[in-house]
Amino acid sequence: MRSHYSGEISPELDGKSVTVSGWVHEIRDLGRLKFLILRDREGFIQITAKEGITRSEVLSDIDQLSKESVVEIDGRVKKNEKAPNGVEIIPDRINLISRSESPLPLDVTQKVSSDLDTRLNNRFMDIRKPEISAIFKLRGKILDAGREFLKENGFIEIHTPKIIASASEGGTELFPISYFDREAFLAQSPQLYKQMMMATGLDRVYEITTYFRAEEHDTRRHLNEVTAIDIEMAFIKDEGDVINILEKLVLTMIKEASHCKELDILKREIKVPEKIERIEYDDVLKLLEEHRKKLPWGEDLDTESEKLLGRVMREEFGSDLYFVIHFPLSTKPFYTMPEGERYSRSFDLGYKGVEIASGGQRIHDPKLLLERIKHFNLDPKNFEFYLKAFRYGMPPHGGFGLGIDRVMMQLLDLPIREVVLFPRDRHRLTP
């Protein structure tokens, strides 16, 4: 007989024989009556053993158990309105599969709290807590929804190199690695490769990817290893086509999250907006100045500006999500399509005061692209493999990178380290 998950056992199975497996969450000994709370990935199930009804060997086995040991239990389902899910199991056999040592590195029942470092150092056990595992179940579900949306809209999943010879976007914030007899780097993003795909005929691609950024941050929203959904799409009219896809993708993911049962465990409620507001960069500066924050034209939005903009958009526009469009060209990477001499066909997507996505239309003219590379004082030789793809027919294209860690962080109003299984920052390299 296969093991049932706790969520599969209902009062309708009253009197049926079942097998359940999981971790010993709690043991309560009331003398002639013993309760064992078993935990699996779907929740809890109560095991009730009583002298005179349960065999003495089973009662003895319960006495030998330690918390967090792994067990398999055969028994009969019995209705009990006071028990989790309205049922309990009367055990016929208890098989100890793996005994847990004592004391535990942290308390899964959370009667004793632990700080974040202790939890991350023992992440395997931290995730046994239902509200922590709920975060990652929810994360998986919104990624599934995002992947399904992209497939339905003609996007093909690709995988690009994570070991590269030179910077993807310029700059020095790269992790160098030893690659046989030469130096290489961990990829900042799949940017150059996904653009090259636009010259192949695979005109809509996406990747659920990893960024590596060697930035010495120490904040609640930055990590050095980041997960994102990156897309690129060709034959676009302008960046508006890209914005439309990103808007639908994000709303699809938030809608999926809004009706997941994990929100009950996390005690969260998520509202799904009908659309996402769009605001010009110049108008953002005016809004900020009205609220006593003056940002010089041509500068990117700093953390303080982002937070203030998030508060203003919520309080005055009723929107947690908003696109900032037409940034100054000087704030964007070399491959960004200019809009006149000063502006770019670019955008950022903000969510409650944090940038969660950035994108725009890219340059597809090889001459202009070479000019922009030189403008940023980058060596064209380092980009020869990339430039070659533009010389033999490159359609207009654009794309974005959507940070999944930040989406989860803002969706649940949690620090970024809470929503990443094994976070990597300047201080943490294990586990």
Asked about 291 being catalytic, the answer comes back as: no
355 has catalytic annotation? yes
Burial bucket for residue 127 (CB in 10 Å: 0-12, 13-18, 19+): middle
For 64, 165, 252, 376, 417, the CA distances from 412, given in Å and listed in that order, are 40, 37, 16, 38, 12
The catalytically annotated residue of 139, 221, 326, 345 is: 221
Cβ of 351: how many Cβ atoms within 10 Å?
A: 23
Active-site residue among 76, 99, 147, 222? Answer: 222
Of the listed 123, 147, 213, 424, which one is catalytic?
213
Strand order in the sheet with 163-164: 163-164, 182-186, 176-179
The yes-or-no answer on residue 213 being catalytic is: yes
3-state secondary structure 252-319: HHHHHHHCCCHHHHHCCCCCCCCCCEEEEHHHHHHHHHHCCCCCCCCCCCCHHHHHHHHHHHHHHHCC
Three-state DSSP state, 205: strand
How far apart, in whole angstroms, are the C-alpha atoms of residue 140 and residue 152? Answer: 18
Nearest to 232 by CA among 401, 366, 404, 348: 401
Is residue 289 flagged as an active site residue?
no
| Residue found under tokens 């996402």 | 276
SS3 of residue 151 by DSSP = helix
Q: How far apart are CA 193 and CA 165, in angstroms?
A: 13
Q: Are strands 346-351 and 33-40 parallel, antiparallel or unpaired?
A: unpaired
In the set 326, 406, 417, 418, the catalytic residue is 406
Paired sense of beta strands 346-351 and 354-361, if any: antiparallel
Q: Which of 256, 355, 362, 372 is catalytic?
A: 355
For 11-129, where are the alpha helices, taking DSSP H only?
56-63, 116-121, 123-126
The reply to whether 269 belongs to the active site is no
Residue 407 CA to residue 229 CA, distance in Å, equals: 11
Alpha-carbon distance values, 66 to 53, 71, 103, 129, 336 (Å): 23, 10, 10, 17, 59
Active-site residue flag, 427: no
Close Cβ partners of 398 (under 8 Å, ≥ 6 residues apart)? 232, 233, 236, 238, 239, 241, 242, 337, 345, 359, 360, 361, 362
Contact indicator for 193, 205 with CB cutoff of 8 Å: no
Question: Which three-class secondary structure state does DSSP give residue 187?
Answer: coil
- Give yes or no: 256 in active site: no
Distance in angstroms (rounded) separating the CA atoms of residues 413 and 418: 10
> Of 168, 189, 346, 358, which is the active-site residue?
358
Active-site residue set: 213, 215, 221-222, 355, 358, 406
